[in-house]
Amino acid sequence: MTTFDPATLSYNEQGLVPVIAQDHGSGEVLMLAWMNAQAVAKTLETRRVTYWSRSRKSFWVKGETSGHTQELVDLRVDCDRDCLLAIVRQTGSACHTNRRVCFYTSVSSGEEVELMSPEA
């Protein structure tokens, strides 16, 4: 068995990998955000999903201010080692719009159709 080293992932020019968050219970795809190697290490160490905020240029412990935390259930690396899948226990809504998931707009009909309202 190989010990996992976050430095062995393929990061982009900004030193980041995309991370897909999926709900452990429902299987819903919640959101996509980004991690650098340190955020990957922090997430594994704390079991609290920690992204890198590209706008704020700082660590982003998901739910730190909103309470909408993501507890890590499993972290998976893809075949090319340039993308991660975080399987999580989501508290509250994953989306900053207060919807359960970020992917609430369907466009496959050619029209933008909102599938989900903000939580009460």
Residue listed under structure tokens 């976050």: 6
Residues numbered 24 to 53 that lie near a second copy (CB under 8 A) are 27-29, 31-32, 44
Give the end-to-end CA distance of the chain in Å, rounded to a whole number.
Answer: 46
Cα dihedral: 116, 70, 83, 13 (round 10): 100
Binding mask 56-95 for a second copy (x = CB under 8 A): ----------------xxxxxxxxx--x-x---------x
Read off the DSSP letter of residue 105. Answer: E
Q: Is 79 annotated as a binding residue?
A: yes
CA angle 97, 102, 23 (to 5 degrees): 120
| Length of the chain, in residues | 120
We find the least distance from the C-beta atom of residue 2 to a second copy, in angstroms, to be 4
Binding site residue list for Mg(2+): 78, 80, 82
Site residues (vs a second copy, CB under 8 A): 1-4, 18, 20, 22, 27-29, 31-32, 44, 72-80, 83, 85, 95-97, 99, 102-108, 110-113, 115
